[in-house]
């Protein structure tokens, strides 16, 4: 395993982040593993050197945080031995204040997350999306207070427009509040719109990039086929992916297969190695429900693609409408 600073912050993380959305309650998604099934996968990650784990309150309606907290407590001798991230924004109840980024919800949500996780702080507390109904000044001040209270060490953001992220950072800097150290955005070979504004902004400002869906929800691994066919349980039941990616995107999948044929390596390794080499990418968030998923991610760390291979992978790209901001 390799280790790297998260942007220009002082926080060191493993080069791969294990996404804990895959663990929780199968009642939420058919492909989610319960705690017993998740335990060996998480143990494999820890034994491979992964120290960075990302979850959110909304995953399995809080069950992911419960499972994450219990598993990590068993696998690490000390709380300081791992980096724990969670997120706030999406509804966690039916009340009008059970969602969003108001001061009321943030303060309630961080306490609820810490209780489920069984810890007294998270290392990275992230806003899961932009809240169009709450002034960003209110949100940034509340996040600053969360850090000052010792409930989070750093704060991060997730998918939004670059102007929104820049505005939030400027408000924090102007007021002497805590700034975001990371951006968790939708970024992979199929969806590269983040290269237009967000990633250059993060690169310029020293913000770490921790992409979600680095394999396009399995599209880049070959789990989906032109015309809507699927070859895995997740592909069959992940209806979000069907809305995000279209048949034209399989031109990228074909390009991956071209490189795979020459390298005789799994497509996941090729797609991840491309992403790991992108500017400002700190740690892709890996979803793993099988041991091979982790094996492929670890192997990708050791692969260096040639300029010709990168050109082959990138050539079929087509512009996309914004995906993942809402």
Confidence of residue 235 (pLDDT cuts 50, 70, 90): very low
User: Which active-site residues does the annotation give?
Assistant: 59
Global pTM reads 0.94
Question: Which superfamily is assigned to 3-314 in CATH?
Answer: NADP-dependent oxidoreductase domain (3.20.20.100)
Average of pLDDT values for 203-222? Answer: 95
- Here the tokens at position 162 are 């670059």
From the list 258, 251, 267, 222, the residue with the least C-alpha distance to 316 is: 251
- Residue ranges of domains in the chain: 3-314
Confidence of residue 29 (pLDDT cuts 50, 70, 90): confident
Q: Are 153 and 114 in contact (CB under 8 A)?
A: no
Q: Are 212 and 158 in contact (CB under 8 A)?
A: yes
pLDDT tens for residues 42-59? 999 999 999 999 999 999
What's the number of CA atoms in the CB half-sphere (13 Å) around residue 111?
7
pLDDT tens for residues 151-163? 999 999 999 999 9
pLDDT tens for residues 83-108? 999 999 999 999 999 999 999 999 99
* Residue matched to tokens 């409930």: 151
290: number of Cβ within 10 Å: 11
Q: Residue 228 above 90 pLDDT?
A: no
Strand partners, 224: 230
pLDDT tens for residues 263-321? 999 999 999 999 999 988 999 999 999 999 999 999 999 999 999 999 999 999 999 99
E-strand ranges in 43-106 read 52-54, 83-88
From the list 69, 5, 8, the residue with the least C-alpha distance to 204 is: 8
């Amino acid at each position: 395993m390799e280790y790297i600073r998260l942007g220009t912050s002082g926080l060191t993380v493993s080069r791969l982040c294990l996404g804990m959305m895959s663990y929780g309650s199968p009642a939420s998604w058919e492909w989610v593993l319960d705690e017993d099934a998740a335990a060996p996968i998480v143990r494999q990650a820890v034994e491979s050197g992964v120290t960075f784990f990302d979850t959110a309150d909304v995953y399995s309606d809080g069950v992911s945080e419960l499972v994450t907290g219990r598993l990590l407590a068993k696998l690490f001798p000390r709380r300081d031995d791992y980096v724990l991230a969670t997120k706030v924004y999406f509804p966690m109840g039916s009340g009008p204040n059970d969602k969003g980024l108001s001061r009321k919800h943030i303060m309630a949500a961080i306490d609820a997350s810490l209780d489920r996780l069984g810890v007294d702080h998270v290392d990275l507390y992230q806003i899961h999306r932009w809240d169009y109904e709450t002034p960003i000044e209110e949100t940034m001040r509340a996040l600053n207070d969360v850090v000052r209270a010792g409930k989070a060490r750093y704060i991060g953001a997730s998918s939004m427009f670059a102007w929104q992220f820049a505005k939030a950072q400027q408000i924090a800097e102007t007021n002497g509040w805590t700034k975001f150290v990371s951006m968790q955005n939708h970024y992979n070979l199929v969806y590269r719109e983040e290269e237009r504004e967000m990633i250059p902004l993060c690169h310029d400002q020293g913000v770490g990039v921790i992409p979600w869906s680095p394999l396009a929800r399995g599209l880049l691994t070959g789990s989906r086929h032109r015309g809507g066919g699927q070859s895995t349980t997740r592909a069959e039941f992940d209806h979000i992916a069907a809305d995000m990616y279209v048949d034209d995107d399989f031109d990228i999948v074909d390009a991956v297969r071209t490189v795979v044929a020459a390298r005789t390596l799994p497509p996941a390794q090729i797609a991840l190695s491309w992403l790991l080499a992108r500017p400002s990418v700190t740690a892709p968030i890996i979803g793993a429900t099988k041991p091979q998923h982790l094996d492929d991610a670890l192997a990708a760390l050791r692969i260096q693609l040639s300029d010709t291979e990168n050109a082959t992978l990138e050539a079929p790209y087509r512009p996309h409408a914004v995906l993942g901001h809402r």
